[in-house]
Structure 1
Amino acid sequence: MKWETLYTDRRTGEREVKGRTYDPVRNPFQRDYDRIIFSSAFRRLQNKTQVFPLPGSVFVHNRLTHSLEVTSVGRSLGKAIGERIAAKYPGNSTEFREFYRHELASVIASACLSHDIGNPPFGHSGEDAIRTFFEGMEGDMRTMITDSLTENQLMDFRKFEGNSNALRVLTHNYNEPEPGGYRLSFPTLASIVKYPCASLEGFNKHIGLIATKKSGFFDSEIPTYVQIAETLEIPRIEGHNLVFARHPYVYITEAADDICYRVIDLEDAHRLHIVTLQTFIDLFLPFFDEEGEGFGSQAYVLRKIANINDDNQKVQYIRASWINLMIQKMADVFMEHEKELLAGTLQQDLLNCLPERESKLIDAINNFSVKYIYNYRSVVEIEIAGYNIIGGLLKEFVHAILYPKQSRSGKLIRLVSPQFPLTLDPTRRYEDIQSLVDFIGGMTDLYAIDLYRKITGITIPEIK
């Protein structure tokens, strides 16, 4: 891959290749950002669980606030890396230098803003619930579905992945006549596809490819991603059918996300009195310089927080300082691995490329978070609720499209928004199941709970 060919103004849904349209206010990638932030799918992230249950007396992060913070970090990281690329290749075109100095940050910001837009309700347990439902189907339901779908289509559901769904949300036109979905630029879309492979070849961690750890596009979006890859000259991985090298910008989006959730989840845990201030300090202070007294040293951080009265403010100061430090470290790591990034051979994320000392500190954060945060009682309870609610909704609605002539099925089908069209044609069952997963996966936590209660009779709906 070449830095010169990894960006373009082209968008999904365009019927012909167009030149850049001059806009004195926004570059093409800022338009991407605006289209995402004003979308209903993005707004719904405000009521989708990040880690801790929503809502509560203490306001913790949801998917929307998390996405906004990742965007902030990603924009800064994209700017730092873009400046370094432009400075390293001063002989390249003016367009090249302008893109990397001023526009790469907008690409990464847009990608970060939308990186979780495909996540279903109830955090990652919602993904697991969809997978579990389609893996565990029995009897006639299993037979009817497996007989009418290809193996790759079936794996879209049995290995349902929020990253793949994000690409679908952003590019699928649903029930609208115009193609292309949000009509975002190819670089923005390429920057969110962390695992650029089809479902059938994904979720394979044994072959050592980062691209196949999960999956990045559903069967229905294969033509879209192939067009993006061919335009940006992203190579296929030899020996595989639909596995591609990662676009280098993906590593920047991923790093911004990795930085945020490692510190933000702990900040939320501190606000909820799950983690003490001293524990927070013990986990993050060692990243700073042990020697010296100046900015960036442990002594400097300790002096600053000693002059802060509120413990939450102390945590916020450490968080801000740590994020700033990690942005610089990630920019350094990115440029150190430039050759591998362009060759498509870097098989680990940027955080795992840190020197051994920092890697061990990251491992300590990971281990602590798994033990004390991600397995905290209320977190586990919301995950179990997610399994039951998502699984219950799928059971009701999938049965309805398989047996549409039953009286109850007809009533359930009428509850599905026209935005998610159902053909009820047995030869188009893949499309219908996708529409149902689009419908359920796009719900907020509260809407999913409310609908589940109503259709199961737990709550009797009021006449309005």
Structure 2
Amino acid sequence: FRILTHQFEGRRKGGFVLTYTTLASIVKYPFSSSLAGTKSKFGFFVSEEESFHKIATELGLILLNEHPLKYARHPLVYLVEAADDICYQMMDIEDAYKLKILTTEETKELLMAYFSEERQEHLRKTFLIVNDVNEQIAYLRSSVIGLLIRECTRVFLDHEQEILSGTFEGSLIKRIAERPAAAYKHSVEVSINKIYRSRDVLDIELAGFRIISTLLELMIDAVTSPEKAYSKLLIDRVSSQYNIKSPVLYERIQAVLDYISGMTDVFALDLYRKINGNSLPAV
């Protein structure tokens, strides 16, 4: 939300245009960081309360708590959340198949379970035409995504008044029909037990934790003590779009979080290697 609001405010300087609705639709947890508690989930920092309040007031979002700020979700948040739930789960299954974490039969069984017996029979007939196994899995994956989109759309429309009044609880995916709901639940269980805990995935997470923690530690130290020679070298690497040289320490730390959270995996790994002297430019 921080990054996008800054881009929104700078739209007249050549940035792209974002509407208030777009900004509100990405805030899954529409409350201030001071209300995060032990869950550590929030939609905006205390420093962004004024910006979100302006957006929420303009859009007529329901105010649940005034100090600190807490609002009911914008209705479009439910659709964004559903898209996230659907795509990540299905793509994780297909990626696990490509990485040979799941066998062809396991993958087909997981994806077929979303459909009625009649629909499953139709899919099997399609496999007689589409011989390539990878194409079969891709076809199944896209078919499941289509089904879940239709289901979540139905739930959204069925509960439209609750969503608009701010009384709807949970996510759309948790209200879909029994068969796809059971299949989705099983997919999540398989992902947790077999995909996310596989050795290859855990090795990548271990490496990622080391990379991110190192970058955070070094960058926080740099903005805390910007007068140090090494700190200046790190700070000078940061793009001017980040308020890394703010006179306020809180804002400099936020800039570090924005900078690192916006890194791609490849960029973060490359920077980590350079800092550690494992990757240097040719002299």
Instruction: Give the TM-score, by structure 1 length.
Output: 0.57
- Residue of structure 2 in register with 1:25 after alignment: none
CA distance in structure 2 between the aligned counterparts of 1:183 and 1:375, rounded to whole angstroms: 40
Q: What is aligned with 1:380?
A: 202
* Structure 2 residue 42 is matched with structure 1 residue 221: no
Stretches of structure 2 lacking an aligned partner (at least 5 in a row):
none
Determine if contact 1:340/1:346 at 8 Å carries over to the other structure: yes
* 1:323-366 residue CA offsets vs partner (Å, 9 max, x unmatched): 22222211111111112111111111100012344322211000
The amino acid that maps onto 2:71 is F
Matches within 5 A, 1:447-462: 447-462=267-282
Length-normalised TM-score, structure 2: 0.90
Indicate the SS of the match to 1:172: helix
Q: Write the mapping of 1:41-56 to structure 2, written as runs, cut at 5 A.
A: none
Amino acid at match of 2:152: M
Structure 1: any 5+ residue segments left out of the alignment? Answer: 1-166, 206-212
Describe the SS at the equivalent of 1:237. Answer: strand
Match of 2:22 in 1: 188
Q: Is the 8 A contact 1:175 1:421 kept in 2?
A: no
Q: Indicate the SS of the match to 1:268.
A: helix
Does residue 444 of structure 1 match 2:264? yes
Q: Which residue of 2 aligns with 1:432?
A: 252
Match for 2:87 among 260, 273, 277? 260
Q: Which residue number corresponds to residue 102 of structure 1?
A: none
Q: Which amino acid aligns with 1:251?
A: Y
Give the distance between the partners of 1:404 and 1:325, measured in 2 at CA. Answer: 53
> Equivalent residues in 2 for 1:360-379 (5 A)?
360-379=182-201
How far apart, CA to CA, are the structure 1 residues paired with 2:77 and 2:54?
17
SS of equivalent residue, structure 1 residue 228:
helix
Matched residue SS, 2:70: coil
**2-side partners of 1:405 and 1:204: how far apart?**
35
Partner of residue 340 from structure 1, selected from 159, 162, 179: 162
- How far residue 255 of structure 1 moved from its aligned partner, in angstroms, is 1.1
The 2-side partners of 1:364 and 1:240 are apart by 41
Shift of 1:180: 11
Amino-acid identity (%): 40
Structure 2 match to 1:392: 214
Give the total of aligned pairs: 283
For each residue in 1:399-458, what CA deviation from the matched residue of structure 2 results, as whole angstroms up to 9, or x when unmatched? 222223333223333222333233363xx1011111222222222222222222222333
Deviation (angstroms), 1:312: 0.6
Alpha carbons of structure 1 residues 283 and 241: separation in structure 2 relative to 1, 3 Å: same
**Whole-Å Cα distance in 2 between the matches of residues 251 and 242 of structure 1?**
20
Instruction: Give the conservation status (yes or no) of the 8 Å contact 2:111–2:140.
Output: yes
Cα root mean square deviation, aligned: 2.5
- Cα offset for 1:377? 1.8
- Give CA deviations for 1:125-145 in whole Å, capped at 9, x if unaligned: xxxxxxxxxxxxxxxxxxxxx
Match of 2:147 among 312, 318, 325: 325
Greater helix fraction, Structure 1 or Structure 2 = 2
**Structure 2 partner of 1:416:** 238
Say which structure, 1 or 2, has more relative contact order (CA 8 Å, 6+ apart).
1
Matches within 5 A, 1:165-244: 167-173=1-7, 182-202=16-36, 214-238=41-65, 241-244=68-71
Find out whether 1:286 has 2:108 as its counterpart.
Answer: no
Change (3 A) 1:398 1:178: farther
Instruction: Give distance in 1, aligned partners of 2:139 and 2:100.
Output: 18
Whether the 8 Å CA contact 2:34–2:46 is kept in 1: the answer is no
- Distance in 2, matches of 1:403 and 1:222, equals 28
Q: What is the SS of the residue equivalent to 1:319?
A: helix
